[in-house]
Amino acid sequence: MKVTVVGTGYVGLVVGACLAETGNDVICADVDTKKIEGLNQDILPIYEPGLEEYVHRNRVAGRLAFTTDIPAAIAAADVIFIAVGTPPDEDGSADLKHVLAVADQIGKHAAREVVVVTKSTVPVGTAEKVAEAIRPHAKVPFHMCSNPEFLKEGAAVDDFMKPDRVVVGVASDVARERMGELYAPFVRTGKPIIFMDIPSAEMTKYAANAMLATRISFMNEIANLCERVGANVDLVRKGIGSDARIGPAFLFPGPGYGGSCFPKDVKALMRTSEERGAPMGVLKAVEAANERQKHRLFEKVSAAFGGALRGKRIALWGLAFKANTDDMRESPALVLIDELLAAGATVVAHDPAAMHETQRRIGDRITYAPSNYAAAEGADALVIVTDWNEYRFPDFARVKAALKTPVLIDGRNLYDPAKMQGLGFTYRSIGRGGE
């Protein structure tokens, strides 16, 4: 099948590479000339495990092409995925200007009967707006489809190739048949393609992300209470996660969620709910809890030094909002850095993938270390911000020798409190009250 993906960001690039991997002829189009030039040399604009290999293999095989000629890419397609950004507007709603601009181009340049797929995360009603933008110019039949993505950053390729389910909102047999054919290779093990109406598909994406954000904020608040009552959140998590009605996923406490999806999607769903007269108070509480949680690491660092942080050197392990990505959007590390610098501390940080992106965002306000051990050298405290695998089993003797004072604040609960105290660290984590 001939597929065009408009937008080569996180979603568009994964979609294009994975669909090419199953034999489709895929064109990824974007207005960003520099990005397209890079992709044609296998230089990816994002870090995502496994993606570079897919891009290279399929580009060399001729199944995956990159272009800035959006009209030509649209004219060649049987299926067009709209995967451009939907940044939050000032009022929290999703900004659809890029989506609707692509729709206008589709109307003007589609040359054959085509299925138009909204892949970007968009509010309920967006597919109809896209259709309205296409209709005035359309010279060929088109069929709308909503196909929300459920890709975890750091595991996006696996999520696309081996999905839990594929959600497809359609309003015609043509769209249903083409999307069923396109996704058939990915569900051979029996995972479902769930066909539904378009508004339900649009709502499913927001509902899923809002539910996951709620679980994270709930567990963070439970963890904070555990600290006050002397309970261990790790044991509480196991106790409730073994309940089949709850399950174990997304119950790990930490410094708050970030990234490109949860913060934006919670805001957008809240905005939609208010506009439609069905306000969601639970999401306001989720958002407020998450903002509070982003200050917890600073509070723990400050408490370790009696509030006297001026002149202290603080090492951070991890900058990205989660492991296996270089995404710094809404990262808790940015909040911690701002607070530490405002308190008069200096910051030295290491991250396997996100240091370049951090430097692009905040410049040289902090020092960037070539390794995690180098970051710890001479520091008054070490803070674990992101749970990269390489931080899970460090040489603790080396870490302790590098630190000026053996203070370790574990924002991801990577280490055993009793072991750390036995090694001579002043150790604090999230929600484990016996420390």
What averages of pLDDT result for each successive group of 10 residues across the chain (435 residues)? 95 96 97 96 93 97 97 97 82 81 96 95 90 95 95 92 96 97 94 96 94 97 96 96 96 94 90 93 96 97 97 98 94 98 98 96 97 98 97 97 98 96 96 75
Q: What is residue 124's predicted lDDT score, i.e. its pLDDT? A: 87
Q: What is residue 87's predicted lDDT score, i.e. its pLDDT? A: 74
CATH topology for 294-428 is Rossmann fold (3.40.50)
Q: What is residue 162's predicted lDDT score, i.e. its pLDDT? A: 95
Query: Within its chain, how far is the Cα of 318 from the centroid?
Result: 16
Q: Where are the domains of the chain?
A: 2-196, 206-292, 294-428
Cβ neighbours, 10 Å, residue 51 = 19
Nearest to 82 by CA among 59, 45, 115: 115
CA-to-CA distance for 349 and 366, rounded, in angstroms?
7
CA-to-CA distance for 198 and 131, rounded, in angstroms?
12
Q: Which two tokens stand for residue 28?
A: 């990824």
Decide if 206-292 and 294-428 have a common fold.
no
Distance of CA 188 to CAs 152, 164, 170, 175, 182, Å?
A: 21, 12, 21, 20, 12
CATH topology for 2-196 is Rossmann fold (3.40.50)
Q: Going by C-beta distance under 8 Å and a sequence separation of 6 or more, which residues neighbour residue 133? A: 100, 103, 104, 107
Residue type, 199: P
Residue 351: strand, helix, or coil: coil
CA-to-CA distance for 419 and 415, rounded, in angstroms?
8
Residues paired with residue 3 on neighbouring β-strands, in sequence order:
26, 79
Q: Which two tokens stand for residue 377?
A: 């050298």
CA-to-CA distance for 331 and 351, rounded, in angstroms?
13
Q: What is residue 220's predicted lDDT score, i.e. its pLDDT? A: 98
CA-to-CA distance for 194 and 90, rounded, in angstroms?
34
Q: What is residue 122's predicted lDDT score, i.e. its pLDDT? A: 86
Question: φ and ψ at 337, to 5 degrees?
Answer: -60, -45
Q: Is 145 a catalytic residue?
A: no
Q: Which two tokens stand for residue 133?
A: 């933008």
Domain 206-292 top-level CATH class: mainly alpha
DSSP state of 432: B
